[in-house]
Structure 1
Amino acid sequence: MEDSYTGLPTSHLLGSVPAVVDDGKSSTNYEGPEANMQTFPPNNGGDRGRGYQSLAGPSETFEQQPASNWRGVFSISSYTQYFNVDTDIVLNRLLGSLFPTGGDFSSKIDANPDLYGPIWISTTLIFVIAALGNCATYLMEKNSDASTSWSFDVGYVNLAVWSIYGYAILVPLGFYFLLHYLGSNASLIRFWCMWGYSLFIFIPSSLLLLIPVEAIRWIIILLVGGASACFVGLNLRSYTEGNDLTIIVVAAFLLQMALAIFVKVWFFP
């Protein structure tokens, strides 16, 4: 019974699909775009437009504004490269600032000047001289009169912020414009880096300024100021070679000594 149904012709039935018969004639076969899990949806290409786009297309990128124009100066992304330093580099530069006679610090930072070290040094120095300055005042007053009342002077913090940040920002900026005006090839980022590391020697020396002997304090601060001034002067000399700009080096030396005397007079009286 079932065999009789299989033998019936079905080509005349409505909706039936005839079998494909290969009669040997050539025909044009359409090949669909190759699809796989790496490229989906497929990209047909051709002149009909871009078609579907692959998932492995280019990712979105953000254009960084170079610091050479005014748009880049006010863009935070322009300064990220100056914070791309590791601990070994920062420690090496800190140790180099303690030995000013080398005079090759500017060549070390020529390829990769950083702002991480100067910002960290300036901020640390602010809190160190504000705190230790109060301690030194307390020790001096107690040494002279034990019955004298003493209170913590918060004004030391404000004074330290304005003096240290102002010096670390404005002095290199002034020398940068001055040297550019005189025809020297100076770099503002390198000046900020060099002057920032020159302040590191004041941090450990502030502990020695707690000694309640005025003569010893003056000897310490003059030695520290001289070392820091030599560090700045010797490294600034590389920007004045070939020009009669010795007065610039002398001015930088005297300003660094003036900072040391200011720290002694106002924070360790």
Structure 2
Amino acid sequence: MTMALRQQRQHFYWVNIYRGVVLLFVLWIMMAFPPPHVHGVLLTAGFVALYTGILVGVGRTTKKWRYFQIVLGMALVLDALAWGVMLLQFSTTTQTDAPALLPALSFEGLLYWDVLGGFLGLGLSELLLLYLWFYQHTVTHMAFTTQALVFWMGLNALVTWLPIQGSIKVKRRFATRYVPIRQVRPHNDSSNQTPTVSPSIDETGNLDTISSITELTQREQEIYNLLKANYSLMDIATSCQIEYTTVKTHVRNIYRKLRVSGRRELP
């Protein structure tokens, strides 16, 4: 199991506890509503508990990072559907404060996929807010005003943007102030040191390949070594203390300079 998969699995379990607390809070609020609405929320809560148990079981048996991302995506989509059903129970009044619960969906995405997940959760929560407004307007004919819609959308975006911006600043500060451990190790410590690229004539005597390797930047040479060591892209990002998207850019540059189309073709 890779380090990135282990970390995301831990986040997934903690998020399940967080989702349970939020769901209990929603149930407590709904106890003051008429029985039909309470029954609807109870059915939704049972559905949430059922698919949560299934996803946790699938997540425990998933060994590959890519497949675990599918599990996280399914959890986020199903949570969005569950939030949509529960928001309908709050849509019987124009003075509803139900949108105040929507940032919980954005925080869930932030814990899953960091900044990208935060924006994904924010987009889903804003769509659910528009869905609630259109439902009130077309079905119950008592939608809250346009000013209230703009207020809730802005407040939801602000509450979600603050932790996203904080995560971006922390990552940038960490990347600029802290040097990876392997870069400060003494040269005589060869036990865990990442091997450096020292081009030499390979068995086929392909001088063009050697010249291409020497054209790689220092960071690209480091990522090249990790690719040859069968590190995943997420593990490379963790090891080099850089963003996942930056790793993908470096990998594309490496493939282009070495004139290959995949990791298996690397010299």
- State the TM-score, normalizing by the size of structure 1: 0.29
- The structure, 1 or 2, with the larger RCO (C-alpha pairs under 8 Å, 6+ apart) is 1
- State the TM-score, normalizing by the size of structure 2: 0.29
Write 1 or 2 for the structure with the bigger share of helix.
Answer: 2
